[in-house]
Structures are given as C-alpha cells and as structure tokens.
Structure 1
Amino acid sequence: MTAPPVITVPTRTAPGALPLLGHAHRLARDPLPFITSLRRHGSVVRIRIGPTAAYVVTDPDLTRRVLVTEAAHYAKGGKIIDALRVFFGDGLATVADGDTHLRNRRLMQPMFNKAHIATRGSAMIDRVRSMVGAWRENERRDVFGDMNDLTLAAFLVALFGTDLPEHPRTEFTALMPAIMKGTIRQTVLPPWATRLPLPANRAHAARVAQLRDLVDQAIDHHRTSLPSAPPHDADTGPACPHAPSAQGGLFAALLTADRPLTRRHLQDEAITLLTGAIETTGTTLAWTLYEISRHPDVEQRLRTELADACGNRPLHYTDLEKLPYARQVLQEAIRKYGPAWMVTRTATRDVELGGHRIPEGADVVWSPYLHQHDPSRFPAPDVFDPDRWAPRRPPAARGSFLAFGDGRRKCIGENFAWAELQIILAAILQRWPRIELVSRDPRPQAVVTVKPDTISMRYGHRDAATAAVDGHPLSPRESPGSAGD
C-alpha cells in the first residue's frame, strides 16, 4: 500500500520586507514583537534576512519534530550559529553534527551530571555569599551587572577552581556584553555587511581575539595547578576518580581525558561553557529579582521555603532539593523572558514540515520566546505565575518549554544552570531581608538573550535587630518583621 501524497500548504511570507535588507530591519529594531507576530501568519512563515529566505516555525509541536523526531533532517547551522562560531569556534553548542560532536559530548557529559556538579557546590556557595555579603546596604545597584558578575564568578570557581587569578575574571566580565551585542548584529545583517572593513566589524574581531587570549591564560593556569589526587568533599563524600579537587574544577575532566582535546578545542569549549553560563543565567536572575520585587506574595513564599530548609544557618548544597518553589519561580522567569529568542537549524535536504515545503540548505528558525508566549499553551502568557509549574497543574504546556532545547543537541549544562540559579537566588534572599526596585520597570531587549534594558535595586534589612550567622544576617524566619514571622 503506497503512502498518501503529502499536501503542500502555501508558506506565507511575513509582511514588511525591504529591498536588500528583507526583514533584517525588523529583527534589529523590534525583534520580539516581530517574532511573536509571525504566529498569526501560519505554523511555518517565510522571512528574508537580506536576500536569503529563512523559515520560522511558530508551532512548538513542529519545533519538536525539528529537534527530536526528525533531527537528522535539520543540522546545527544557520545565521545565528554561523555568527556564534566566530567566537565559539567548534564548541559543543556550535560544532556540526557528526562524530566530533558525539565524541565531545560524551567526553563532557560526566562534567555535568548531578553528582559531579555537587563536588563544586560548597565552593560556589562560598564565592557567591562573599560577593553578595560585600554589597553595601541601601546602595543603588545595577542588577543585570551584578547577576552577570555572580554567575561568572560562580562558574569560574566550578570550571577552573578556587585559585584562578582575578585578571581573567574581570576582563571576561568587561568583554562579554560588547561581544554578544556584536554577535547579534552579525546575525541580523546581510552577510556582505558583516564582511566590510567597518569599525564595528574590526572591533568585534579584536574583542574575540582578546577573549581567546584570556581563556588561554585560564587554561594554562588550571593545567599547572591540577592536583595529583582527588580529595574528599564535605558535600558528597569521597570523590569519584575524576572528580575535581577543592582547588581544581570541572574543566580538569577535559585536561586529563584519555584522548585530550587540542588547544583550539579546549578554547572553544571553555568559551562556549562560560558564555552560556553567564549570559543566560545572569539574565534569568535579573528578571527573577524584578518579578519578586513586584510580587510580595511570591517573595514571602520564597523566604518561608528558604527558612524552612535552612533554619538559621547558611545554605548548603544539599538544601537545593528542598526548594521546589524557588525552582518554579526561576522556571517561570525563564518562560516569560526566554532567555534565548531565536535559534537556527539548516535543512539537510528538501523536507516537508507541517505540510510546508522547505528547500535543502534553508535556515529553519525556532524561538523559545515565541513558543513560551503562545496563549494556547500558556494562558495569559504575559502574567508572571510560578504556579504554572506546580505539580498539581496539568502538564499540557510543558512540551512548549524549550529554553534548553531538546533532542540530541539539548543544552548539556541544564543541571548546572538550575543549581547555579538556585544558589545565587538563595544567597541574595538569605543575606538581604529587603529588596527594592528603584528604577523604572525594565523593557526587554533581544540581544542573544532577552535582557532588561535597565534595572536597579537596593538591598537592606527590615530593621536594625538582625542577628548574624557566619557574619551574615539570620534567615527571614529569625529576623523580626520578616515575611517568615
């Protein structure tokens, strides 16, 4: 019996294209309204980036076909991946599908299992608590900058150990915002424009070269400081044979592998891991604090849960599993704000997707932001509602949560991201019984992630009667006038 013929649905082209630029001006000027508007034009919509056509998938069920069930027909590639390769190189997030990707993923996977991450738990908590504790009370602070600093510091401790010099850490923080801005510029502009000897293009290339030099310094320092034997870790008990030491880090697994990576590949993987850890995690935390400041009921539940888990002592890594509501809050922030808003694949042959014909070599675009604002999957998508993720809620919308991707190219660092997010959020709430937004409400900006354009806060005590635990105020349960009383 022969298969029925595939019915081809006409693929609409989004309105508003300009000669030569296509829809690049919309992607640069108002990307989030533009990408979400495409849903009303069909399940697959054609856009043009310069003269080149790309196909945006607006139905999350079709996106899962691209990422999971028919992934062989959609290779890692497209304009955004090409732009990221300029400074990621062939890191795990950008390397082409095939033997190299499989080998490197298998090599790196043990670094990111829960037991291995736990060996870095105490070091991460200590670093974050010391930084949060150094903030001055009632000082106006840039939240997005602070969150990027915290996530970078925590991840550097996890990746390279506790003895990494200050210079690479501070230089990396200074470089990343400009590099990410340059990357999205290269993504949305026509290819010919990114190859011109313009000041912006030359500056981007110089920053990428500087980034690689800094990563090289960190790798060399880490290689020379690797211990000869793994120690005992207080959080996890005796370490496994390849577990990082108290001074060492997760990156030791790559430096000591039976089939070690080349120097270039070590650079690529370090840059990929660091960029993913900073940009996405820092953005999520900034939006989370903003939403907490707007929802006193959410803040009270968070503080009560944290007090129940920790009592009057600082957070331990093993406490994270006792903070399910904190994870719901973080997941809702990720849903509402992305963090990624555009991801691309390349069709490896002529394919049919939801009745639409996509030609070989075409870019296929999917957007976690678009899917996670689909009102048919998430009612009132602009409302911040952590209880969407409560166990009692029906799981119908969970398949549309694609912030970490899916399938064989799903983000390898998801477990680490959840741990880092919870550690930093808990450290801030434990240290500061009061958080207060002191800037106007931020507006979302689509760079590589969906970041706030501006957000400032003050942190303080509810009154002068707070006691201290290890030099820090007690948890909300022990602080007079707190939400946990």
Structure 2
Amino acid sequence: MTSSTGVRAPSAPGALPLIGHGHRLARDPLPFITSLREHGSVVRIRIGPTPAYVVTDPALTRRVLVTDAADFTKGGKIIDALRVFFGDGLATVADGDTHLRNRRLMQPMFNKAHIAERGDAMIEQVREIVGAWPGAQPREVYADMNAITLAAFLVALFGADLPGHLAGEFTALMPAIMEGTIRQTILPAWVTRLPLPMNRAHAERVARLRTLIDQAIDHHGAARATSAETTGCPHADTARSEEKPGLFATLLAAEESLGRQQLQDEAITLLTGAIETTGTTLAWTLYEITRNPGIERRLREELESVCGDRPLRYDDLDQLPYSRRVLQEAIRKYGPAWMVTRTAARDVDLGGHRIPRGADVVWSPYLHQHDPDHFPDPDTFDPDRWTPGRTPDTRGSFLAFGDGRRKCIGENFAWAELQIILATVLQTWPRFALTSRPPRAQAVVTVKPDTMTMTFLPPTARA
C-alpha cells in the first residue's frame, strides 16, 4: 500500500560516523540483527552512509513478500552483487514478465514426480561418496557436505552420464566461486569493480563455470538426441535407454524461448543456490546429532524400522518423519540465510512507518526463526517442536525458503536431498564424533560453521 503518511522508523542505536552499523554487522551480525526486535517492528539501520529498514515483525514481512509484494521488488545490495556475476537467473532476475515466464518454464523440473525419477540415482551417488570415506580420520564436515550436495545435484540436474572430467571440474571450481561470491556481497561495490587480482580471479572462474555449463548442456542435448535415435531399436543399450533424463531436460526443451545465455544463468543459479544452503544445513545437523545422543538414537531407530538391513530407497523418505523434523529444526536454528533484501518500489507505509522509494528493505529468516513468541527457547535444538499438533502457527515466521511469488522453487528438491544425505550417512557410519572445538556460527550469506571436523567410525572402531 502506497502512502505519504506514517512516521519515521526508529533508528537502531550504536551507529558510527561514515560506517553506520557496519561494525556491528561485521563483528556480531546475528546478535545485532536479533536485537533489533527490541526497538520496533521496523527499524532503521545504516550500512555505511546508506539507510536500510529491517522488518522484525513476521506479519509485516509477510506483507513485504506476499500481500504487498508489488511494492517491494527483488533488489538490494546482496541481490545486486549476485546479479553482476550470475546474470538474470530465477533468484536474481527483476520482478515482471520475464520472472513469471521463467518460473513457469522451470516449475516442472521441481515437481515431486520429476524429483522421484532422479531419487535413486542421487542415493547411489551419495552412497558411493560417503562409503569411500576412510574411517576414524578427521574430516572437514562443512566441505564434505557441500561436495556431496554438489555431486548429488549434478546427477539430478544433468543425469548420471555426465562426463567425469566435467563433474570433477565442477566440484573443484564451485567452492572458490562460492567464496568469491560471498566476498562480493560483503565488500563495497567500488572495491569489487577495481582490477584487483581477487576480482579478476573470480570473474575468470565464473567465465569458466559458464563454459563448463555449456559443455554439460551440449552433452545432455547430444545424449537425448542419441537416445531418441535408438528408441525402438532392438540392439540399443538397454541400461542407457532406461536412464531417466536429468531435470535440466525440462529447460533444454525450452532453449529457443530462453536462449543459451539464460540457460547458463539458470544453471548457475540452481548450482549455487543448491550447494551452500543444503550443505550448511547438513553440517549443522550432524553437529547437533553429536551433541544429542537421544536424537541420534531416535533417528537410527526410525531408519532401521523403515529400511531394516537394506539400503535406503527413494520411496522410504516419506516414512521418515522424525528425520524431517530434525532437518527442519536445523534449518530453523541456523538459517540458512540470515539477511535478505528487497527494494521499495515507491513510498510505502509499512506498519505505520514511512519507507522512501528506492530504500533497501531487509528481512531476516534467522531473526524470525529465533523469535521466542513463535519458537519458545529458540536457542535450544528441539526437533519435537515440529511434532504435528504441538506446533503453533509458524507460517509467517519460518521463512527459510521465503514466501510469496519469489519463494524458493527448489524446496521439494531440497527436502529430498537433505533426507537422502542424512539417512545415507547414518546407514553407512554407525558412529561419528566431533573432533574440533564446538563451531561458532558465522553469518556470511548463509549461517555457516567457522570450523567443524568429525571422525566417522566403522562398527569395530573405538571413539
């Protein structure tokens, strides 16, 4: 709702000349963002000299994302930084006809039936990787979870026959690209435009990623053409003909509508969006399991009751409700995103506060998901808070996947991948233990652990 009425939003205390609240965002961002709830439903902060308006009331955040979404367009510092390097993928493209068209084209990729077709291939890939870990050796869990997530997603996206050299280069390249992307969102825009070695290296990696995606698209298209030519031939390779196409086949069919540049943008968006958030959630989930023996016991008992001694199958996922609650609690407690931005399209009255046109409007899944009015004792890891019948209405305060027309299109896929990887780790390794100090939460783009090593122990090993 546009309006010239409304009062100026209260300002957060502690701003410094020139940098505003930048020192708090750099030094203790999570305590700072959650503290803003004490100062009002909409609170004005300064990031350098630029004001931004943080929405602390989940009902008002719902207005930003759903009810009055036309007044709050996709934009702001984080989105603008991502758009420079990743183009106009679904997560960064501006609101309007292009976004609606591309979302409709991509939606079939992520319906449950299409995901199910890729489920067993994902399980096989994850089992192969997790089973190859050497026992009783400390492992960097956060890096491992990102690597497994990427490998599973590549199988789902492009199919199981992606050439090994492409899969290997994706795996080697993505961590550095994610690190560079995070750096670009933190640094001032003028620094990211300088011809510095780190900026050049990041641009070169993104260019190489686009080349790899081109090669994967071409390979995928060639494989589909070959499959079509051999269909019906009695001498065709049966195993190859039975291989389900990757999810990306949906977009390849629409290449004429999208163009190659848009295909690249969407593939980059999918890869980067899938890895960091899912890998982060899994790392924190394993950490909480090491701290809560009762939770681990219930997870293993549920898994054994469904699977017995056989490996996990995709059809088992719906029969693992406690696993789902554990993962949902990890998402609630640790984000994964902690700060998301929109841009006011016009002068807006939001909850009685005046927000000027062009201003950044900030909403924080982390802030809402630590609101004690909706999640009592929010710092406690309690999967049972998601038990049916016990949970209060948290629709407006559990925002890990966003809401409204820009809600994460891959939510169904994310849940499937999370459950597959967690269940496979539990089935493969009877025990695991933290070997580093307890990790501290680092708020960058996601809320990631600053350190986390674990040993995974086979049945005969001792902790």
In which range does the TM-score fall when normalised by the shorter chain? Answer: over 0.9
Displacement of 1:247 in angstroms is: 5.5
Partner of 2:374: 377
Higher relative contact order (CA 8 A, sep 6+): 2
2:280 pairs with 1:283? yes
Query: More displaced, 244-253 or 415-424?
Result: 244-253
Displacement of 1:277 in angstroms is: 1.1
Give secondary structure in 1 for the equivalent of 2:396: helix
Give secondary structure in 1 for the equivalent of 2:13: coil
Partner of 1:170: 168
From 334, 344, 362, the equivalent of 1:337 is 334
Q: Which has the larger helix fraction?
A: 2
Displacement of 1:321 in angstroms is: 0.4
Displacement of 1:87 in angstroms is: 2.5
Q: What amino acid is the match of 2:103?
A: R
Partner of 1:25: 23
Displacement of 1:49 in angstroms is: 2.1
Partner of 2:311: 314
Map of 1:332-371 to 2, 5 A cutoff? 332-371=329-368
**What do the CA deviations read for 1:202-238 (whole angstroms, capped 9, x no partner)?**
333222222222222222222221232899xxxxxxx
1: CA distance, partners of 2:230 / 2:344: 45
Structure 1 residues 216 and 258: alpha-carbon distance in aligned structure 2, compared to 1, 3 A threshold: closer
Displacement of 1:129 in angstroms is: 0.6
Map of 1:225-304 to 2, 5 A cutoff? 225-226=223-224, 227-228=227-228, 246=243, 248-257=245-254, 259-304=256-301
Q: What amino acid is the match of 1:319?
A: D
1: CA distance, partners of 2:41 / 2:166: 45
Query: More displaced, 267-276 or 133-142?
Result: 133-142
Query: More displaced, 345-354 or 12-21?
Result: 12-21
CA RMSD of aligned residues (A): 2.1
Displacement of 1:104 in angstroms is: 0.6
Give secondary structure in 1 for the equivalent of 2:156: helix
2: CA distance, partners of 1:456 / 1:363: 38
2: CA distance, partners of 1:174 / 1:45: 41
2: CA distance, partners of 1:389 / 1:308: 21
From 104, 112, 117, the equivalent of 1:114 is 112
Q: What amino acid is the match of 2:149?
A: T
Displacement of 1:22 in angstroms is: 2.6
Partner of 2:140: 142
Structure 1 residues 27 and 201: alpha-carbon distance in aligned structure 2, compared to 1, 3 A threshold: farther
Note the residue ranges of structure 2 that are not aligned, 5 or more in a row.
232-240
Structure 1 residues 183 and 26: alpha-carbon distance in aligned structure 2, compared to 1, 3 A threshold: farther
Give secondary structure in 2 for the equivalent of 1:463: coil
Q: What amino acid is the match of 2:295?
A: V
2: CA distance, partners of 1:229 / 1:156: 25
Structure 1 residues 305 and 24: alpha-carbon distance in aligned structure 2, compared to 1, 3 A threshold: same
Partner of 1:38: 36
**What do the CA deviations read for 1:34-68 (whole angstroms, capped 9, x no partner)?**
22222222111112222221111111111011000
Note if contact 1:320-1:423 (Cα within 8 Å) is conserved in structure 2. Answer: yes
From 426, 439, 442, the equivalent of 2:439 is 442
Give secondary structure in 2 for the equivalent of 1:396: coil
Displacement of 1:201 in angstroms is: 2.7
2:244 pairs with 1:219? no
Query: More displaced, 221-230 or 149-158?
Result: 221-230
Give secondary structure in 2 for the equivalent of 1:37: helix
1: CA distance, partners of 2:201 / 2:29: 24
Query: More displaced, 67-76 or 190-199?
Result: 190-199
2: CA distance, partners of 1:197 / 1:344: 27
Note if contact 1:123-1:162 (Cα within 8 Å) is conserved in structure 2. Answer: yes
Give secondary structure in 1 for the equivalent of 2:394: helix
**What do the CA deviations read for 1:144-184 (whole angstroms, capped 9, x no partner)?**
11111111010000000011123333333333333333333
- Structure 2 length-normalised TM: 0.92
Displacement of 1:293 in angstroms is: 0.7
1: CA distance, partners of 2:229 / 2:414: 27
**What do the CA deviations read for 1:96-128 (whole angstroms, capped 9, x no partner)?**
111111111100101100011000011001101
Note if contact 1:368-1:403 (Cα within 8 Å) is conserved in structure 2. Answer: yes
Give secondary structure in 2 for the equivalent of 1:402: coil
**What do the CA deviations read for 1:400-424 (whole angstroms, capped 9, x no partner)?**
1000000000000000000000000
Partner of 2:47: 49
Displacement of 1:448 in angstroms is: 1.3
2: CA distance, partners of 1:331 / 1:58: 21
1: CA distance, partners of 2:37 / 2:340: 16
From 425, 430, 435, the equivalent of 1:433 is 430
Partner of 2:192: 194
Partner of 2:208: 210
Query: More displaced, 433-442 or 391-400?
Result: 391-400
Q: What amino acid is the match of 1:111?
A: M
1: CA distance, partners of 2:166 / 2:46: 40
Partner of 1:469: none
Give secondary structure in 1 for the equivalent of 2:354: strand
**Total equivalences in the alignment:** 450
2:460 pairs with 1:463? yes
Structure 1 residues 25 and 185: alpha-carbon distance in aligned structure 2, compared to 1, 3 A threshold: farther
Partner of 1:413: 410
Displacement of 1:252 in angstroms is: 0.7
1: CA distance, partners of 2:73 / 2:261: 23
1: CA distance, partners of 2:229 / 2:334: 43
Q: What amino acid is the match of 1:103?
A: R
1: CA distance, partners of 2:165 / 2:442: 29
From 79, 82, 88, the equivalent of 2:80 is 82
